[in-house]
Structure 1
Amino acid sequence: MQIEEIKPRLSFWQIWNMSFGFLGIQFAFALQGGFMSRIFQTLGAEKDDIPILWLAAPLTGLIIQPIVGYLSDRTWHPILGRRRPFFFIGAVFSTIALFFAPYSSALWMAASSLWILDASINISMEPFRALVADKLPDSQRSYGFVVQTLIIGIGTWIASNLPWFMTKIGVPNTAAAGVVPDSVKFAFGIGAIVLFTSILYTILTTKEYPPDNLKKFEKEKAASKGFLKGIKEIFENILDMPKVMLKLGVVQFFSWFAFFTMWTYATPAITEHIFKATDTASLAYNNAADSVGNYLGTYGLISMFFALILAFVTSKVKINRKLVHMLSLISGGIGFISIFYITEPWMLHLCFALVGIAWASILSMPYAMLSSSVDPNKMGIYMGIFNMFIVIPQIIASVGGITTTYKFLFGDEVIYTMVLAGTSLILAGFANLLITDRNATHDG
């Protein structure tokens, strides 16, 4: 790894190229987040059974992310570098899973597709986070993660609107009972193509810095060979994680519990509460489900514009990352809660605009704070371990955390899941007050 002080500042387009693969990753995430619950319902799942069908995905991420981070820290290929081999492996399997997911004819097939898709995305995703920290000096970290978020926002907006757009150009959005409509199948197929080509673009346009001392690097890698040694090292790093990382973990827990709640319940909650449509084979339901994807696209669009603003600001001045993140998360929480109170469908755009502000911050500020607080030689493994604070809330949510909590706190109507998501996001906002390390909270 290059010494921090001698890393050159990169241009906007250099940062854009090395983050462009996230366009495809976000296509996959937006399609699975916006439409897998629709697929599950189409195949006969009850609303309260949907979270458990998502369980395998975060469980796999919990295992894969630290391992991939550990391995990528110890990888050096003379052509592909350190992180890019993992980009390619993840891209191949993600593309296959994304293409075939909407062709599932049974719930177990759809759940398996989601599991393979999420596991494959995880292989590519955190090395992308580590690459930003690898390539940029500390003074550009916020800027780098914000540019990455800009690309993610573009991907979220386009992918979330794909089934709606397919319907507008004449692709059928209804099918026989138990069959996923062609509009969704076409959208997932386009997403698979975008995923592979965008990651390939980053691989071909981005070079990585070699280790400062390649002989020493190879010697240390050889000394750490062996499965049990690797597992031991991972657990040692978990136990020795920096305090800043643990405090950020609290913020991440409530943030990702909120968004997992949205991904699993937004379609059933909004189609039922706002559009009064519950028959998954009906035209009314499928039109409403397309509209939900359109409204979800709003949070991607706004996250893109908010990221543009942050990119401009962070390229000119130093920011207080903690304050930006706290206010952004609280805004998103208000957006989620507002869904319960609105009276017209168009108002959902306003609600999800606030959610988009939170999403832009979630995808940039925590990683900027973390990358300034950990050993750069362990960037990959710490990024992987940090993912624990993303997948653990999803696991808890999947095994009944959402259903039990919203019914206990608010009531039996599924729309209360959005109130729960908002409450969780506001708690995440205030949890930022735990972070006091100036190296984390301010640009270098």
Structure 2
Amino acid sequence: MDNPSTNESSNISSIHLESASNRKPTPLIKMIAVASIAAGIQFGWALQLSLLTPYIQLLGVPHKWAANIWLCGPISGMIIQPIVGYYSDRNRSRFGRRRPFIFFGAIAVAVAVFLIGFAADIGHSFGDDLKKKTRPKAVVIFVFGFWILDVANNMLQGPCRAFIGDLAADDHRRMRTGNALFSFFMAVGNVLGYAAGSYRKLFMMLPFTKTEACNEFCANLKTCFFIAIFLLILLSTFALLYVEDIPLPSIESQSQTQTQTQSEPEQQVSCFGEILGAFNGLQKPMWMLMLVTAINWIAWFPFFLFDTDWMGHEVYGGNPGDDAYNRGVRAGAMGLMINAVVLALMSLAVEPLGRFVGGAKRLWGIVNIILAVGLAMTIVITKAAQHERHVSNGNTPSAGISAASFAFFALLGIPLAINFSVPFALASIYSSASGAGQGLSLGVLNIAIVVPQMIVSALSGPWDSLFGGGNLPAFVVGIGAAVISGVLAIIILPTPKATDVAKVPIAGGFH
């Protein structure tokens, strides 16, 4: 089916390339430096998840269409993540395999958040009428920046995780430590990002951010993004200068160069051919894992899309742009900060919890039931808040409603920590014999994450219209998906062998 040159290229497998630079494990401090980049990445993600759905509605996009903006992320992730993984496994740059992707990814993030933060100002300078509800030029700039941001995040996260795998140099204990550190710094970035998003007067640090076209909410967002740029560039620069990324041996570089010079189209076919081949070579356990992961993300994505909007609209009873809504969004960001603290603590307890309950798949199944309970809390809290406003004619929820809302965010930190680790651990076990590299394996699993995000983004608008508006329809779908994925995780996922568990690079120690 493949021509000889394609076979030659594919024979230089990712797993072989990763073992080419065989050396002793890198000192832990250098792994910490690379893992710390996750804090910079996740700081920006925290702002994206907490503030951008409210912000796009502030620019005039109706609630039922706001979720469609998030199609950018899954589509770019489905295309970019596997390709970045493939080429980062094979990169012959003299600067190393992973560092060029991290460098250009960080630059792209800086450009993207600048466009998003200044969308209202740029749109106004191009003729947006501030008296009209919708600002079309600002929306176009926002969406363009959003696309770049999602592409850049995919350029960063996969190579960073793969870089940690490279630095571990086949030391499985060091791999587990490195990936636990990555998860920990993700949680740190979440805490800092959500804390910044919850502070009302942050824009006063940079007063110039508030303009005629950009109110206090917008100025706070802009200031948060300036902090995000500074943090990511600082951490990335330190890691890239401090940690050596050893290039592949020159003899392999020459072999790859010969393959490339034969025909550029053939090289492209080889790239996508290996990505498709990764699917064709998947065994049943990996397919089952991808199924459970996909259903699980149908449960999670409504929360990521609408958490702060739910606080502003359903809990505080506001509409985009008014004071009640803005207070609700800030309270939602504070709730997400609490969620991130719980996630950070839980990320350190994933391995012992897995041993306690009898394995990774059982732990994943249990916490998905917790996820379903948490999402069900949104219905109870919403109805209670609505009743309270009807009785008191006020928009500010009582202390009891606020406490219940924050408890909801805290509870979901438990399953979220498992969701960020266990699927990757199981994927490492199930695909260990496939011959795929660190980057390509993560890219394949990423498909099972982004496809359900596309489904939720596309369908949440029709759910909104069908059931009279609001965020609850998407949360109800999430409840059902959480229960199904929890049951399937326990029933259909194979129990890993003890010999395979010892090789788990993420959240190891399950059996």
Smaller-chain TM-score bracket: 0.7 to 0.9
The letter of the residue matching 1:71 is: Y
The letter of the residue matching 2:369 is: I
TM-score (norm 2): 0.77
Paired with 1:175 and 1:429, the residues of 2 have a C-alpha distance of 48
Residue range with higher mean Cα deviation, 170-179 or 134-143? 170-179
Whether the 8 Å contact between 1:166 and 1:187 is mirrored in structure 2 is no
Paired with 1:109 and 1:51, the residues of 2 have a C-alpha distance of 17
Whether the 8 Å contact between 1:329 and 1:429 is mirrored in structure 2 is yes
Whether the 8 Å contact between 1:163 and 1:184 is mirrored in structure 2 is yes
1:119 aligns with 2:154: no
Secondary structure of 1:144 counterpart? helix
Paired with 1:69 and 1:198, the residues of 2 have a C-alpha distance of 22
Change (3 A) 1:10 1:348: farther
The letter of the residue matching 1:398 is: S
Match of 1:35 among 51, 60, 64: 51
* Superposed counterparts of 1:213-232, under 5 Å: 214-216=250-252, 218-220=254-256, 222-223=258-259, 226-232=267-273
Paired with 1:205 and 1:154, the residues of 2 have a C-alpha distance of 21
The letter of the residue matching 1:154 is: V
Match of 2:449 among 369, 390, 393: 390
Residue range with higher mean Cα deviation, 341-350 or 182-191? 341-350
Residue range with higher mean Cα deviation, 145-154 or 343-352? 343-352
Residue-by-residue CA offset, 1:196-217 (whole Å, 9 max, x unaligned): 2222232233334555x65246
RMSD value, Cα: 3.1
Change (3 A) 1:145 1:239: same
Q: 1:411 Cα deviation (Å)? A: 7.0
Whether the 8 Å contact between 2:47 and 2:197 is mirrored in structure 1 is no
Whether the 8 Å contact between 1:39 and 1:110 is mirrored in structure 2 is no
Secondary structure of 1:181 counterpart? helix
Match of 1:163 among 197, 201, 217: 197
* Superposed counterparts of 1:39-438, under 5 Å: 39-78=55-94, 80-105=95-120, 106-136=138-168, 137-167=171-201, 179=215, 181-208=218-245, 211=248, 214-216=250-252, 218-220=254-256, 222-223=258-259, 226-278=267-319, 280-310=320-350, 320-342=359-381, 343=384, 344-372=401-429, 373-374=431-432, 375=434, 378-400=437-459, 402-404=460-462, 412-433=469-490, 434-438=492-496
Whether the 8 Å contact between 1:32 and 1:114 is mirrored in structure 2 is no
| Unmatched 5+ stretches in structure 2 | 1-16, 121-137, 385-400, 504-511
Change (3 A) 1:323 1:145: farther
Aligned to 2:387: none
Percent of pairs with identical residues: 23
The letter of the residue matching 1:82 is: R
Residue range with higher mean Cα deviation, 46-55 or 7-16? 7-16
Q: Alignment length, in residue pairs?
A: 437
Whether the 8 Å contact between 1:21 and 1:200 is mirrored in structure 2 is no
Q: 1:397 Cα deviation (Å)? A: 1.6
Whether the 8 Å contact between 2:312 and 2:318 is mirrored in structure 1 is yes
Q: 1:317 Cα deviation (Å)? A: 10
Q: 1:159 Cα deviation (Å)? A: 0.3
Secondary structure of 2:376 counterpart? helix
Residue range with higher mean Cα deviation, 230-239 or 15-24? 230-239
Whether the 8 Å contact between 2:162 and 2:438 is mirrored in structure 1 is yes
Secondary structure of 1:271 counterpart? helix
Residue range with higher mean Cα deviation, 349-358 or 225-234? 225-234
Change (3 A) 1:17 1:187: same
Paired with 1:17 and 1:161, the residues of 2 have a C-alpha distance of 23
Q: 1:152 Cα deviation (Å)? A: 0.5
Paired with 1:423 and 1:12, the residues of 2 have a C-alpha distance of 42
Paired with 2:333 and 2:212, the residues of 1 have a C-alpha distance of 21
Q: 1:376 Cα deviation (Å)? A: 5.9
Paired with 2:299 and 2:357, the residues of 1 have a C-alpha distance of 29
The letter of the residue matching 2:448 is: F
Whether the 8 Å contact between 1:329 and 1:361 is mirrored in structure 2 is no
Residue-by-residue CA offset, 1:214-265 (whole Å, 9 max, x unaligned): 5246425643662233222222223223433322212321233333212322
Whether the 8 Å contact between 1:174 and 1:282 is mirrored in structure 2 is no
Paired with 2:118 and 2:298, the residues of 1 have a C-alpha distance of 28
Change (3 A) 1:124 1:310: same
Paired with 2:284 and 2:43, the residues of 1 have a C-alpha distance of 33
Change (3 A) 1:2 1:191: closer
Q: 1:68 Cα deviation (Å)? A: 0.7
Change (3 A) 1:387 1:94: same
Paired with 1:349 and 1:112, the residues of 2 have a C-alpha distance of 33
Paired with 1:215 and 1:186, the residues of 2 have a C-alpha distance of 48
Bigger-Rg structure (1/2): 2
TM-score (norm 1): 0.87
Whether the 8 Å contact between 1:23 and 1:154 is mirrored in structure 2 is yes
Whether the 8 Å contact between 1:145 and 1:365 is mirrored in structure 2 is no
Paired with 1:274 and 1:87, the residues of 2 have a C-alpha distance of 40
Q: 1:291 Cα deviation (Å)? A: 1.2
Whether the 8 Å contact between 1:58 and 1:391 is mirrored in structure 2 is yes
